[in-house]
A and B are shown apart, each in its own frame.
Chain A
Amino acid sequence: MDGDCVSLLPRVCDVLAAPRSSLPDDTSLEKLLDWFTTFSKSGVSLLEVNPCLQGFISTVVSSRAAESSIISFALKLTGLVAAAEDGFRALQANSVLDLAFNPQHWREDGLWDDPCVRIGWIQGFSTMLQHRQAFSFFVQADSIKPLLQLQTDTSLFVASAASQMLAHVLMLSHPLLSGFNGKEVDDKSSSSSITGLMRPAVIEADQDVAAVVTEILEYLKTRMLPKESSQLHQSQQILKLLALILSQAGPSLRDKLLLFLREPLEELVALNYSQLTRPLMDVILAAYSSIRGDEKVPDPILCHLLSVMLNQRKPFDRIHAAAAFLCSGHDNQIHMAQSACILLLPMEIITGLTLLEGNSTVKEHRLLMMEQLQSKISCISMICISLKHIPKITLMAPDCRPCPPAVVVAAVLALLRLCRGLSPPSLNGCVAVFRNVTGSGKVQKCALEALSALSSSSEVSVMLVEVFTLLIEYLNHPDSDPTMLQKSYQALVQWIGVCSNLSSITNQLKEDLTQVVRKRACDMRWEVRDSTVEFLGHLAGLPACRTEVGGACNAAEYLLGGCCVTTPLLVEALHDPESYVRASAVSALAQTMTHSWQEGVVPTKEQAEIVTQLLEMLSQDTEGFARRAVLQYFITWFSSHPSCTSSPLLMQSVRSVLLQGSADLDWEVKVHTLDLAELLMDQAFLGQHGYTKGLESHPAQPHPYAATAKQAYTLTQRSDLLCALDGLVKQGLLSVLLSGLFDCDRPVGLKACRLLIRLKHVLLLKTQDESDAVKTDPRLYCELLSQGWAQEIRNVLGTEDRSNETDPHTVTVNVCNLVTSLDLEERLDVLTRSSDHFYNSPRSLLQDILTASAAHAQQDSQLKEEVIVDCY
């Protein structure tokens, strides 16, 4: 804590403690508390450094005029101060704690009605409970009663905070009791620092602690069951608390809790309240989550509860319960299989396919489920839940899953056809339910997502042709909305990606796909054109696949006939009126070309034309997205080409790209330009001593005593370096870096600065011990224009460097001098800080509070004057 802040804090405390204090904004108090918390965590005693806090707390706590937000803040601060034992003692000595944490005190003034005060009380208390004395204070003050009341508070935030604290209290109390009883202590709770702190103190029996635990458990037991449906909220809150406790409890506490609460839990499960399905499942899953690997047999109570949830509840609730259990990923095969059956049942009913052959329990549920599926809302909701979890079912162990994954894929395909009204429901399917799903966009989107995810299941490649056929139908259908089309494309890419053998795809299907892609590339909706272009890019990026002749081939090549279809479509899309599509087209082109780049194939005339178009886009496109994509195109090209210098087209283009990119108005384009510059540098300097690649922007300084292998450098290397530098300067790299350094956008400046530092290191290490001849090598000089950022550089350099005789507007500078004179490290330090670092500092916060208060006071006095004038 710096001295300025310490000196400001007493005045701030006075301001805050004063009635009707005015704050600069709502978050000031939170920020202040965060600042105190940081201090307290660093081990500094708050009261020791800031004795004024004690006065502030006792003033606010005893004040009758303080605002509720200030009281809440003071309560939280009290907790923070009292979390340290010395702070606790100091506050206790002044009886501040008795006053602050006595709800009755706040009730007297009606302040307790404000949820802000209640939450301050809970959080303050909760923060304080870090040591034995605080816990004793909590027990002796009988604070458990108000806390339990707050657990069902009307404010959700208060209720949630109260639950958190109750769980916290129980976690603290339970090991104390266990220690007393001499029983096994839960691993989880014993590992917490709190109990670790408290354990030495627990030597004697503590009846009060036992009373607290009993009170919490009794509360859970007696209030869990709703006496009437209006009390469901209370039950929900209690179940939430129980889930919270179970998620933190170890096996011992878990078993005790389950045993103790068995009766109400079983009764509650049997009561069949839909609203309680989710909280009940949370409780069950929280209990499951505490099962350790060595506990092979799950708790019978838990098993019973789960069985009831999966068997005896309404179909809608059962689906939710099954989904929750399946999501949790527990290794309980019986219930996993049961959950899978429940989730597949609606699919079986609707599609008429046999997914659950011979499953007797499902038969019982079928009628109820069919009835529920008649209602459109619950039908769609249940199918969507089912579809969301179907991929997980196919990933289950073969002996556990109800049917082979291929059958599940067939069911999803059948459902998608039904949604389109493409095929009539089979005789087993329910016609009334069929009406509910026909045309449902939600079901179709979920089913397409499921189909996408199913691609990664085993044994599904046999379905490739059917999946392909349906997805092409979807892509072709006039009623498919842009999202459906995008999902269809995604699914197609997924399936092509995982199926290494595409030989089953017939020529007709390939032709259909080509036609549909051509059509969608001309769609009216830009989203569709964008998805199509993206699809072409993704397809090109897929690994090689096997074909019918046994050879390996690129998927795009095999399915769409390769570049003769793809490239013209993408080139056309470069002129799309929508910038997103143009940007996607550029990216897709890059993906399409990557393969030929990697192989170092000489660019064709067509590719050269594309480059011309892209450079045109970079200089003329009005939208940043497209220009950024162009930069990315060249970055990909540069980074995937095995030897960039061997491609004159690439090197020529890079110079133009650097020139145009660094002059762009969009900061992201400029950053991408610097990324390209970095690649150039990497290529030029890699292997040179002192140069580090990539993210290591701060190369390790050579150890002062380390033996530097100067002798390893040969004249050839030195010459290489100067040649490389010369090449980079000619490419315009230095101009890019320098203009970036003086850019008004911080990320651009930062990146340029880091690159310049790397350049500096490599140059200095080379030249520090070299002869003057090297230092004056003409290759170390470059020309700068005398305008804009170059003028600033000239100012930095003074008049040392030479003015160009031929062109008075340019100046020739020595690169080494330049990079050393710019004081790059200091600049980097400034740039690394966020632009608002000053305004977010604690000092600024404290000053803001004081200023706001002063302004408020002034306003008040003016008002008073006005009143006086009026009266006079």
Chain B
Amino acid sequence: MKLYCLSGHPTLPCNVLKFKSTTIMLDCGLDTTSVLNFLPLPLVHSPRLSKLPGWISKDGTINLEKELKECAGRVFVDSQPEFCLPEKELLDLSTIDVILISNYHCMMALPYITEHTGFTGTVYATEPTLQIGRLLMEELVNFMERVPKAQSATSWKNKDMQRLLPGPLKDAVDVWTWKRCYGIQEVNSALSRVQLVGYSQKVELFGAVQVSPLSSGYSLGSSNWIIQSHHEKVAYVSGSSLLTTHPQPMDQSSLKNSDVLILTGLTQMPTANPDGMLGEFCSNLAMTIRAGGNVLVPCYSSGVIYDLLECLYQFIDSANLGTTPFYFISPVANSSLEFSQIFAEWLCHNKQTKVYLPEPPFPHAELIQTNKLKHYPSIHGDFSSDFRQPCVVFTGHPSLRFGDVVHFMELWGKSGLNTIIFTEPDFSYLDALAPYQPLAMKCVYCPIDTRLNFHQVAKLLKEVQPLHVVCPEQYTQPPMTQSHRSDLMLELQPPPMPYRRCSVLNLPFRRRYERVYILPELAHSLVPTEVKPGVSIATVSAVLHSKDNKHTLQSVPKPPPVPPTKKRKRVMEEPPVAPKPLLSGAVPLEAFLATLQMHGITEVKVEETADGHILHLQAEDTLIQLEEDGTHIVCDNNEPLRTTLRDLVLRFLQKL
């Protein structure tokens, strides 16, 4: 069993598991942090961004002024943003049989894997994962396509050139693998390969293994996966949460007794408690509005935003924010808000029961009805006529490099009354803000990451007790900035197996058993002998038939009447040798000694050993070793005696 690690990002994993002749890809997350190296794509012409000076090295030897621009002391690539893809060279992607998706954030690289690689397999995901994943992909495509940029910067990627660039561009890794965003056709094609599954549904893969998604409690339709054969079980835990938020709670018990547990997607903010962050979010929001400023919340169009809106629904009245407009701007805003209301079966119990009342499970429906929350596909159109300040705007993309958020940054960045509140943990807020500096706007960082923290995961692993744990190497040491926090790492016994991008791990367990079926007629022909109460054995002569990873024992076909040939005679001359009978049972010492005595062997010295006894027949100078799993007669040059002794031993044993 092998694990190929194609991504080094612990929360955007992409691993391939080779298990019992199947090749299973576990998630295909897209690392979008690379876009932080690019200039923002403004929706409306930005004189500031268009006038940025090009970059020329200090000594003037390198001139990349068309590709690189200087802004607030940093250098950015002036081109369509590019993403860091999972490793494609480690193994042939066309050999992948299936892809298991755990949540909609971990499938954004799917078109890069399924398209133009020869991939012919199936992708398994739950319905909300597919639908919301589709929304996120469409949004991403829309963000990119509505601000087309003809220029594609490649010169800076030249190794010799790159190492002369200022940081962080200089330190960017695998820049040649960075790719521009896919198109809508690729999205559609990739998603057409998805086959929907429900929680605990068992899907057979080639008869060899069975895969099954379990609720992971992180987002709508998010799953952990169990991959098991008859005798082996691998658990894949990715992006799980034990907090009481909108999704169904995490199914922990099904993860028990795994041979290997692959652990990814822990919280990126182990020191930020989501409840505390939510409180910070609300109080900073209220404080800004009270002071007459606007609040900008760069966020994804699905996920934590549902919880934020729910929290605000309760907070609005207590903070006297009843008249403040809340805007949600995204090409998929409408679909996202509506989808969340229809996936009732994937929601937590409280929300499920609301559906039967019937009431919308999420209170944002009421916010929309009462006009407190308004949603728009973009800043153009209706929004510009409805727009009223002070207000709260939720919009993407959280990287601040593309999407409507860029416009609001340009609009509000210069006033100290306004506040930007970061709630998504995926991007460093300082890096995200870098191209907008100097900034008068107040910045608040409240990353809300509901995924498991180290304390919770330690408890979980204690409960489910896997034999081995495999995890990204980042989890096996404290964070670099807090090297003293030994509580922010996994401490297990045996220690977890760490992986990094491009690692290939031999998973530390051997397959010891395989299930074999026996056909009824063959079974009928067997003659079992009881060796001890409840245990019977029989010798089987059969033909092993293996097909689709299923093994069956069939009766030995009777030899067809062989046409008389010359060979026949030879066959007749050598009759088939009957298999020797199998022996079972134990030799009782006292009775055996008595039998020896009856046969005239009287001088026997008995020595007790760890495994049984050694009988020394002194007169005959012979040893008989009686052990649990074997009997040896050591008798030199006295074949008659050996035969006699053997026969005496055989008297006490059963023959099969």
Contact = CB atoms under 8 A, between A and B. Distances in A.
A525 B275 CA distance: 11
Contact of A425 (B279, B484, B487): B484
Contact of B320 (A524, A526, A575): A575
A421 interface: yes
B486 interface: yes
Interface stretch (B166-174, B284-292, B609-617): B284-292
A239 to B, nearest CB: 41
Interface in A439-490: 439, 477-480
Contacts of B487: 435, 438-439
B497 interface: no
Q: Residue among A425, A478, A572 with the most chain B CB within 10 A?
A: A478
Contacts of A577: 317-318
Nearest to B283: A522
B317 A431 contact: no
A519 B284 contact: yes
B484 A478 contact: no
A522 B485 contact: no
Nearest to A435: B487
B433 to A, nearest CB: 19
B279 A478 contact: yes
Interface in B585-632: none
A360 B154 CA distance: 70
Nearest to A523: B283
Contacts of B271: 421
Contacts of A435: 486-487
B282 interface: yes
Nearest to A434: B484
A523 B484 CA distance: 31
Contacts of A526: 318
Contact of A522 (B277, B287, B484): B287
Interface string B302-332: 0000000001000101111000000000000
A578 interface: yes
B319 A522 contact: yes
A518 interface: yes
B493 interface: no
B276 A424 contact: no
A404 B274 CA distance: 41
Contacts of B282: 522-524
Contacts of A478: 272-273, 276-277, 279-280, 446
A745 interface: no
B320 to A, nearest CB: 6
B483 interface: yes
Nearest to B311: A524
Contacts of B285: 522
Given A478-B276, A478-B280, A479-B273, A424 B287 contact: no
A480 B285 CA distance: 18
B278 interface: yes
Contacts of B638: none
Contacts of A425: 484
A255 interface: no
B269 to A, nearest CB: 11
A524 B446 CA distance: 15
Q: Residue among B276, B290, B311, B318 with the most chain A CB within 10 A?
A: B318
B369 interface: no
A518 B319 CA distance: 13
Contact of B484 (A424, A439, A519): A424
Interface residues of A, number: 26
A524 B318 contact: yes
A71 B235 CA distance: 70
A518 B287 contact: yes
A58 B75 CA distance: 105
B24 to A, nearest CB: 38
B283 A520 contact: yes
A576 interface: yes
A578 B486 contact: no
Contacts of B50: none
Contacts of A477: 276
Given A424-B483, A434-B484, A577-B317, A522 B290 contact: yes
Interface string A500-519: 00000000000000000011
A144 to B, nearest CB: 57
Nearest to B270: A421
Interface string A523-563: 11110000000000000000000000000000000000000
B463 to A, nearest CB: 19
A526 B282 CA distance: 13
Nearest to B486: A435
B158 interface: no
Contact of A524 (B272, B273, B283, B287): B283
B484 A431 contact: yes
Contacts of A578: 318
Interface string A405-445: 00000000000000001001100000100110011000000
Contacts of A520: 283
Contacts of A431: 484, 486
Nearest to B455: A439
Nearest to B320: A575
B564 to A, nearest CB: 86
A736 to B, nearest CB: 34
B185 interface: no
Interface in B184-205: none
Q: Residue among B276, B283, B286, B311 with the most chain A CB within 10 A?
A: B283
B482 interface: yes
A425 B318 CA distance: 41
Interface in B377-421: none
Contacts of A524: 278-279, 282-283, 311, 315, 318
A522 B286 contact: yes
A256 to B, nearest CB: 57
Interface of B: 271-273, 276-280, 282-287, 290, 311, 315, 317-320, 446, 482-487
In the A-B complex, list the 5 residue pairs whose CB atoms are closest, starting with the nearest: A478-B276, A424-B484, A522-B286, A522-B283, A479-B276
Given A424-B484, A524-B311, 8 more contacts: A424-B483, A431-B486, A435-B486, A478-B276, A478-B279, A522-B283, A523-B279, A576-B318
20 contacts: A421-B271, A424-B484, A425-B484, A431-B484, A435-B486, A477-B276, A478-B276, A478-B277, A478-B279, A519-B283, A519-B287, A520-B283, A523-B279, A523-B283, A524-B282, A524-B311, A524-B315, A525-B279, A572-B290, A577-B318
